[in-house]
Amino acid sequence: MNLEFTAEEVAFRDEVRSFINDNYPKYLHERESRDALSREDFLAWHKILAKRGWAAPAWPEQYGGPGWNSTQRYIFSEESARAETVPVLPFGVTMVAPVIYTFGNDAQKERFLKPILNGEEWWCQGYSEPGSGSDLASLKTKAERDGDFYVVNGQKTWTTLAQHADWMFTLVRTDPTAKQQQGISFLLIDMKTPGITVRPIITIDGGHEVNEVWLENVRVPVENLVGKENEGWTYAKFLLAHERSGIAGVARSKNAIKRLKNIARAELSDGEPLFNDGDFSRKIAELEIDLTALEFTELRTLAREAAGKGPGPESSLLKIKGTEIQQRVTELTLEAVGTYGAPYFRGFPKDGDNMFPIGPNYAGQAAPAYFNNRKTSIYGGSNEIQHNIIAKMVLGL
C-alpha cells in the first residue's frame, strides 16, 4: 500500500482544506455539544457541501456522487475531522440511500435520492425494538396488507434524532408464519403520518439524542416498500455493513487523541503535566498504535469499495476496533481532566447547582462525551455480534 500522496492528491487535499476554511459556518464551532445543535445547525454544512457536489462522497456519479476514489474520500474525511466540522448525518446519505439506489425502483430513486443528497429531508432509522436489539431478526413490529396500504403497529426504540425526522426507514414483519429473517420487509414511512408518536429518551449524559417511536395503525402506501416483500433482511444486512464501516471514525479519533495530548500536557496544580506520567503516556501510545492499525484496515476497505466490491466482513473489524478506540479516548480524556470533570456528570452544568462551573473549558464535555460513547459498542450491531460475524465469515468457524 502506497502511503505517499501524489501531486494530484496533495492538490485535492489543499482544495478541500481551503473550501472548508472558507465556507464552514463559524458559529457551529461555538456550539458546546451535539445536543446543542438544532435541526438547522445539523443541515447547514450538509447543504453547503451539496451545492459543491460533496455531500455524498461514496455515491455513484449517476446519482449525484462526486466520483471520488478511495484516497480522495479518505482525504476528505481527514480534512473534515481536522477542521472539526459537523458530520453529514449518516441516516440518509450513508444508510438508506445506498439501499434505495441498489434495491429500489426507479420511482423511489426519483422521489427520495435528490432530497437526501441536498439535505432537504431528514431520515431516522427504525430498527431496534424493546427486546430486539442485537437479535434484530426477532422484531415484532408488524405490517398487514390492506389494499394499497400496509397497516403498521409496533414500537421502535433508540431512534436517533427522530424528533427532527421527516422520514423513517424501518423493518417490519410482514409474514408472522415465516422464519424470522424470511418474514421481514423494508418500509419507508413518512413521519407525519397519523398514528406516529415520538417520545424522548434522556440519556445518562443529560442529552436528548434518542427516542422511542410508537406506530399505531399507521397506513403506509405499498409503493413505499423497498424491493420485495419478506426480503427486507437482505437489505438490512446490506445497510448495516455500510453503517458499520462509517462507525469506525478513524479521522475523528485521531483528532480526539490530539486533543487528549494537549490536555495531558497542560500543567496541573503541582506544575507537573500528566503527560510526564509514564503509565498515562503509555496508554496514549498504545491507543495511537491501535488507531494506526485501524486506519490501514479502513484504507483497505475503501480500496475494496473503489474496486466495485461492497463492504464485507472487514466492516465488522472496523466497527469493533473503531468503537473500542472511541471509548478509550473518552475514558482517558475524563481521567486527564480529573476532578474538573465531576461537576459535569449527568447533564451538569445545566442543573442549578453548577451554573458557574470551575475548571478549564476543555473539561466541560469530558464526562458527557464519556457517558455518551458507552453506546458505540452496541449500536450498528453490538460488538459481540460482530465477533460472531468475523468467526463465521473470516475464520470459517
Cα-to-chain-centroid distance, residue 98: 15
CB 259 within 8 A of CB 228: no
Interatomic CA distance for residues 349 and 367, integer angstroms = 11
Collapsed DSSP state (helix, strand, coil) of residue 105: coil
Interatomic CA distance for residues 218 and 176, integer angstroms = 18
Q: Print burial letters for 247-258: b (CB count within 10 Å at least 16), e (below 16).
A: bbbbbbbbbbbe
Dihedral-angle region of residue 84 (phi above 0 means left; psi in -120 to 50 means alpha; beta otherwise): left
Half-sphere exposure of 268 (CA within 13 A, CB side): 14
Residue 335 falls in the annotated catalytic set: no
Phi and psi at residue 126, to the nearest 5°:
-105, 75
Phi and psi at residue 312, to the nearest 5°:
-105, -155
Amino acid symbol at 273: P
Which of these is catalytic: 129, 212, 243, 314?
A: 243
The three cell numbers locating residue 372 = 455518551
Report which secondary-structure segment, H or E, holds 215.
strand 208-221
Interatomic CA distance for residues 390 and 397, integer angstroms = 9
The distance in angstroms from the start CA to the end CA of the chain is: 29
Catalytic positions are 243
